[in-house]
Amino acid sequence: MPELPEVEVSRMGITPHVQNQVVTKVNIYNASMRWPVPDDVYQLEGLIVTSIERRAKYLLLHCELGSTILHLGMSGNLRVVDKSEPLKKHDHVEFIFGNGKALRLNDPRRFGCCLWQEPGEVHKLLSKLGPEPLTDDFFAKRVYEQSRNKKVPVKQFIMDNAVVVGVGNIYANESLFKAGIHPKREAGKVSQKRYQALIPIIKDTLAAAIMQGGTTLKDFAQSDGKPGYFAQELLVYGRKGKPCMTCESELQEIRLGQRSTVFCSHCQK
């Protein structure tokens, strides 16, 4: 599943091709996605995309009459191609621009979405989201206060979009390992001092992933149109049974919230 860094890299990748461009045509080839694609999206035709914003894992293409909201779901991707490029299977929505480029949302499992937000309003999907992790609104004291009396495991707590957006499974695993916090520890039993260590680690881990992904931007519009998602050097995620890179103990795996959770029982308490 694309996580926040991949979505941010997608935003960075499409921006040079899309921002300040006139949308000459909107094509909805399959409206049956996670939610039906509304006809309101056709309002983009003839308008300039003034900016592209990321909110959590959503991308918003802003214009004067509103915003198109895109989400990649579990298997989706955005491709920038020449408008003459033949469609691929699972290309569900397409925006054609005056510069001859097309932005296509491809989603085999159709768990993504393409929705519309009226100007001056906040779509209900975005209205209850917590702060962005790389902003000053995400800080230790706030998270510590939110965690009091919470019995949920700390890993699930930091993945709660009401607490902070965009800390997906990979980055929760990695950040808790770096902070030395056991993923099953109750959020309410994590001290303020440990949150003070964890929050900067989350920020640094996400920022490093975005920076690493940014090195692929030159390949964003490749010949096959696929964005340059990036391989990362991960310390625990996906390394069940392998030696911990710190103490060489065997890494363990459990399921929390139906998600794979890998940790070191020696380094994380």
**Residue 252 to residues 3, 30, 170, 226: CA-CA distances in angstroms?**
23, 42, 15, 34
Q: How many residues are given for the chain?
A: 269
Is the Cβ–Cβ distance between 62 and 75 less than 8 Å?
no
Tell me if 109 is assigned to a ligand binding site: yes
> Could you please report the per-residue DSSP string of 29-49?
S--BSSSBPPGGGGGGTT-B-
The DSSP output letter for 249 is P
Q: Which helix (H) or strand (E) holds 174?
A: helix 169-179
132 is catalytic: no
Q: Which of 25, 83, 185, 259 is catalytic?
A: 259
Cα–Cα distance list, 136 to 3, 61, 155, 164, 206 (Å): 21, 24, 21, 12, 14
In three-state form (DSSP H/G/I as H, E/B as E, the rest C), the secondary structure along 50-66 is CEEEEECCEEEEEECCE
Residue 150 annotated in ligand binding: yes
Nearest to 91, CA basis, from 104, 74, 77? 104
- Catalytic one among 55, 57, 101, 104? 57
Contact 20, 240 (CB under 8 A): no
Instruction: Indicate if 57 belongs to the active site.
Output: yes
Residue 54, annotated ligand binder? no
Residues making up the annotated binding site are 90, 109, 150
- Catalytic residue numbers read 2-3, 57, 259
Residues making up the annotated binding site for DNA are 90, 109, 150
